[in-house]
């Protein structure tokens, strides 16, 4: 990967999030125009932070790629004992986050590939569709190493990112029923599990939420969005012959009651513990 390539990829990302900042300002829809996905992401991060094993000795929480600060603004109300840091690459989104003036929250400009924090500064890290904005695997690996470096030993990370298996399964289901494939967004590179899992396993243990005190694996389920994606992007467009991106209809909302079934969502959640 050349430095020219990195600069132009960075420009793609900056430009995309500048448009998001201008269009959505401090809204929940900033960077996520599907409100059910946003709701379910916030719910799973809440469930993660409430896991009994995670609440013990945890105080310092870092969100990598905190965008306009919407998610942190909700979490900081629900978790008054935690100190939150939000870090983001986009000055435009960061400015909106800072204007929220949240106590116990610090927002900083930064780059996931080269974090400015000291080793082992945080007890907990989470990401919400951030590392897929690094448009090659080398830089994604670099970001994973950096998150590992700034997390304390035994600390936990919830890695909510997009993966090719769910994306391909969804398109296969659509194609079987005569619907076109949904293209991968131009500003994203989804993770391939064949590369991701061996690499991440060197740095982190992949953890079952039940071993951390969850009542069931559904509380922090890897495929927490699978049923929603299948309903919103296969069943709904099939029945209506409509736009696959019309997501928040009553039909789709009705089926949010389903537990996670299958692996039909690109966006998935890995629960990880730093080794050592």
Ligand X SMILES: C[S@@+](CC[C@H](N)C(=O)[O-])C[C@H]1O[C@@H](n2cnc3c(N)ncnc32)[C@H](O)[C@@H]1O
Binding site for ligand X (CB under 6 A): 13, 17, 30-32, 65-67, 70-71, 88-90, 93, 110-113, 128-130, 133-134
The CB-of-187 to ligand X minimum distance in angstroms stands at 9
Q: What is the distance between the alpha carbons of residues 124 and 61, in angstroms, rounded to a whole number? A: 5
The CB-of-174 to ligand X minimum distance in angstroms stands at 23
The CB-of-134 to ligand X minimum distance in angstroms stands at 6
The CB-of-97 to ligand X minimum distance in angstroms stands at 9
DSSP 27: -
Neighbours of 178 (CB within 10 A): 8
Burial class of residue 235 in the structure, from the number of CB atoms within 10 Å of its CB (0-12 exposed, 13-18 middle, 19+ buried): middle
Q: Looking at beta carbons only, is 117 or 237 nearer to ligand X?
A: 117
Q: What is the distance between the alpha carbons of residues 176 and 130, in angstroms, rounded to a whole number? A: 31
Q: Looking at beta carbons only, is 19 or 216 nearer to ligand X?
A: 19
> Helices 3-24 and 91-98 sit at what angle, rounded to 10 degrees?
40
- Give the CA distances from residue 89 to residues 18, 116, 145, 251, in Å, rounded to whole numbers and listed in that order: 11, 12, 18, 37
Q: Looking at beta carbons only, is 31 or 231 nearer to ligand X?
A: 31
Q: Looking at beta carbons only, is 29 or 179 nearer to ligand X?
A: 29
Following DSSP, what letter does each residue of 127-159 receive, concatenated? EES-GGGS-SHHHHHHHHHHHHHHEEEEEEEEE
Q: Looking at beta carbons only, is 105 or 130 nearer to ligand X?
A: 130
The CB-of-198 to ligand X minimum distance in angstroms stands at 23
| Gyration radius of the chain's alpha carbons | 18
């Amino acid at each position: 990967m050349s430095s020219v390539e990195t600069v132009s990829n960075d420009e793609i990302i900056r430009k995309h999030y500048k448009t998001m900042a201008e269009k959505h300002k401090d809204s929940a829809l900033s960077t996520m125009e599907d409100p059910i996905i946003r709701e379910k992401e916030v719910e799973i991060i809440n469930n993660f932070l409430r896991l009994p094993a995670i609440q013990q000795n945890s105080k310092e929480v870092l969100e990598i790629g905190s965008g306009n600060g919407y998610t942190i603004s909700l979490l900081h109300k629900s978790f008054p004992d935690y100190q939150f840091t939000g870090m983001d690459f986009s000055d435009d989104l960061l400015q909106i986050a800072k204007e929220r003036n949240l106590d116990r929250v610090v927002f900083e400009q930064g780059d996931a590939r080269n974090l400015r924090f000291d080793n082992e500064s945080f007890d907990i890290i989470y990401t919400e569709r951030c590392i897929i904005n690094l448009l090659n695997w080398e830089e994604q690996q670099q970001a994973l190493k950096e998150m590992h470096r700034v997390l304390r030993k035994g600390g936990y990370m919830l890695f909510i990112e997009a993966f090719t298996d769910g994306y391909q399964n969804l398109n296969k289901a659509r194609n079987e029923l005569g619907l076109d494939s949904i293209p991968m967004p131009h500003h994203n590179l989804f993770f391939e599990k064949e590369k991701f899992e061996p690499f991440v396993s060197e740095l982190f243990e992949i953890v079952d939420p039940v071993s951390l005190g969850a009542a069931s694996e559904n509380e922090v389920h890897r495929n927490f969005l699978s049923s929603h994606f299948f309903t919103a992007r296969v069943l709904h467009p099939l029945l209506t012959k409509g736009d696959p991106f019309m997501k928040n209809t009553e039909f789709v909302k009705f089926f949010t009651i389903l537990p996670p079934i299958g692996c039909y969502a690109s966006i998935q959640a890995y629960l990880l513990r730093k080794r050592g």
